[in-house]
């Protein structure tokens, strides 16, 4: 079987958005599933709008998602000689020609076609003039006037386009820059791309590209046009539906694997399964399971899926992504056993890494600042004796695990006659500064004996002062 070679060709005119990321993911997953090859190509022929900053942002987003590439990144701006070679082939074979029609002349012929009830297209006036290259000449492809072009689409099924609907489209502008359709076909031919998965907004380009493949006597790739991603109101996804940049979701505290999991479900399914690890996606992804209905982007579902990935991911994996958020808050945190233990206490109650980092700060603080309401309610003189008894019990303990901590609390309860809740909540405020935290015993174990005793003593001093 021929090796599958897919590609992702973003234009560096902005950030990587949700739709583009999904296209990259589908191509990457199919290449990985089939043990094929995934090629990255930067389509930067739009010199006016392409920027290095956008290229860097796209690469950064792909790297965060874990979408790696086997070849590239190639840059169209560095491939001019290759495009010129293929344009010359089409000119030499009589399948392309020079055209010197002015913009005014083109506007006039399109208006005339509209008035006659036809499509506003080029009328082929220069087709048989045998014009030579000149400063004001473009190169047009000589499209067939009769017959039909068939797109054999693995997602949509066969799409038949009458050739009469197409005109002799431009393949090279007067400044020598190739047009999108020509550059894409030449790139895909020379890079050996045999599977093209892309958004269905490209369906109108595909017949022109098929004609170019045929004119260049090149085999056609497998085409699959994926439905668009829409907002919950079923309008085309835009900024009003939420953050659009992939890296914006990273900065909001989403895990890359959770984001990948959500992206793939925007148009692909595997029975009723919703949760997938990356390895499961690679094992199960096929083109046959891509749906024909638009994907509906729902931030609530994304958030719920992110929370599930946080719960189910190993602490070591979470630590790698959490540490930058902790450092932003001034914590001297590393991807070590302590941080992983912290994560275990917070993973069941965190929907995002931002939430988790906020909940983890007390573990790293040198000195606890008490919430005013919490301190007034729980750090009262009546709790000084229980706290001192607990300090004494903890100092005398040879171990600091959950069973020994439970014994220490029971000793205080038996001595004072107080119930666990009456002791645990002031202890929680003493250790965290807040009334909400992970479970009291698991939190104590992670903080460690020395830090717990020091904070309890600080709380006693605070009350006495």
**Per-residue pLDDT tens over the stretch 383-431:** 999 999 999 999 999 999 999 999 999 999 999 999 999 999 999 999 9
Query: In which element (H, E) is residue 160 found?
Result: strand 157-162
135 lies in the same domain as 65: no
Using the 3D structure, point to which of 288, 308, 328 is the last residue of a domain.
Answer: 308
Query: In which element (H, E) is residue 199 found?
Result: strand 195-199
For residue 242, give the nearest of 190, 303, 161, 324 by alpha carbon: 303
Residue 243 has pLDDT above 90, yes or no: no
CATH code of residue 95: 3.90.800.10
> What's the CA gap between 320 and 404, in Å, rounded?
32
Residue 170 has pLDDT above 70, yes or no: yes
Alpha-helical runs (H) found in 2-150: 18-33, 52-65, 80-92, 103-115
The single residue of 35, 239, 367, 419 carrying the catalytic annotation is 239
pLDDT at residue 236 in the model: 80
Residue 114 has pLDDT above 90, yes or no: no
| Residue at 137 is within a domain | yes
Whole-number percent of the chain with pLDDT over 70: 99
Indicate the average pLDDT of the chain. 95
Mean pLDDT of 201-228: 97
Residue 239: active-site member:
yes
441 lies in the same domain as 400: yes
pLDDT at residue 39 in the model: 98
71: left (phi over 0), alpha (psi -120 to 50) or beta: beta
Q: How many domains is the chain partitioned into structurally?
A: 4
pLDDT at residue 119 in the model: 82
Residue 242 has pLDDT above 70, yes or no: no
| Residue at 192 is within a domain | no
Using the 3D structure, point to which of 277, 292, 308 is the last residue of a domain.
Answer: 308
For residue 442, give the nearest of 347, 369, 354 by alpha carbon: 347
Confidence class of residue 261 from pLDDT cuts 50, 70 and 90? very high
The residue range of the domain holding 455 is 366-465
Confidence class of residue 115 from pLDDT cuts 50, 70 and 90? confident
Give yes or no for a contact between 323 and 334, defined as CB atoms under 8 angstroms apart: yes
Helix (H, G, I), strand (E, B) or coil at 44: coil
pTM of the shown model: 0.92
Confidence class of residue 234 from pLDDT cuts 50, 70 and 90? confident
| Residue at 199 is within a domain | no
Tokens standing for residue 117: 């009830």
For residue 97, give the nearest of 59, 63, 125 by alpha carbon: 125
| Residue at 188 is within a domain | no
449 lies in the same domain as 384: yes
| Residue at 262 is within a domain | yes
158 lies in the same domain as 117: yes
279 lies in the same domain as 325: no
Using the 3D structure, point to which of 172, 187, 214 is the last residue of a domain.
Answer: 172
- Tokens 């009458």 sit on residue: 162
For the chain, the 3-state helix, strand and coil shares in percent, each to the nearest 5, are 50, 10, 35
13 lies in the same domain as 90: no
88 lies in the same domain as 167: yes
173: left (phi over 0), alpha (psi -120 to 50) or beta: beta
């Amino acid at each position: 079987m021929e090796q599958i070679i897919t590609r992702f060709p973003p234009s560096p005119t902005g950030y990587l958005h949700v739709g583009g990321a999904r296209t990259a993911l589908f191509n990457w997953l199919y290449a990985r599933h089939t043990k094929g090859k995934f090629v990255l190509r930067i389509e930067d022929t739009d010199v006016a709008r392409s920027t290095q900053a956008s290229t860097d942002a796209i690469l950064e987003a792909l790297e965060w998602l874990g979408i790696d590439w086997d070849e590239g990144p190639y840059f169209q701006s560095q491939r001019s000689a290759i495009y010129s070679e293929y344009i010359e082939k089409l000119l030499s074979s009589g399948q392309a020609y020079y055209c010197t029609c002015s913009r005014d002349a083109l506007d006039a012929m399109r208006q005339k076609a509209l008035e006659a009830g036809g499509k506003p297209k080029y009328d082929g006036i220069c087709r048989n003039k045998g014009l030579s290259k000149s400063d004001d000449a473009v190169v047009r492809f000589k499209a067939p006037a009769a017959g039909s072009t068939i797109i054999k689409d693995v997602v949509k099924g066969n799409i038949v386009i009458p050739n009469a609907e197409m005109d002799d489209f431009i393949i090279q502008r007067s400044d020598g820059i190739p047009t999108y359709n020509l550059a894409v076909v030449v790139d895909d031919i020379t890079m050996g791309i045999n599977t093209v998965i892309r958004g269905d907004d490209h369906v109108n380009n595909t017949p022109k590209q098929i004609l170019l493949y045929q004119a260049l006597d090149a085999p056609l790739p497998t085409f699959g046009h994926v439905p668009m991603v829409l907002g919950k109101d079923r309008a085309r996804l835009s900024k009003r539906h939420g953050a659009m940049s992939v890296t914006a979701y990273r900065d909001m505290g989403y895990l890359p694997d959770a984001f990948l999991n959500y992206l793939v479900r925007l148009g692909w399914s595997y029975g009723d399964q919703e949760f997938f690890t990356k390895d499961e996606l690679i094992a199960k992804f096929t083109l046959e399971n891509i749906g024909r209905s638009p994907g509906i982007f729902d931030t609530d579902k994304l958030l719920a899926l992110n929370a599930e990935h946080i719960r189910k991911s190993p602490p070591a994996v979470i630590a790698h992504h959490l540490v930058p958020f902790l450092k932003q808050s001034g914590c001297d945190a590393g991807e070590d056993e302590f941080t992983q233990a912290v994560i275990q206490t917070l993973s069941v109650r965190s929907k995002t890494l931002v939430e988790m980092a906020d909940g983890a700060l007390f573990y790293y603080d040198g000195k606890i600042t008490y919430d005013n309401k919490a301190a007034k309610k729980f750090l009262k003189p009546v709790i000084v004796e229980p706290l001192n008894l607990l300090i004494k019990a903890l100092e005398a303990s040879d171990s600091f695990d959950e069973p020994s901590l439970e014994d220490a609390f029971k000793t205080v309860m038996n001595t004072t006659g107080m119930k666990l809740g009456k002791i645990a909540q002031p202890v929680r405020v003493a250790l965290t500064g807040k009334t909400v935290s992970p479970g009291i015993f698991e939190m104590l174990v992670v903080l460690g004996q020395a830090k717990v005793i020091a904070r309890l003593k600080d709380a006693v001093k605070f009350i006495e002062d």
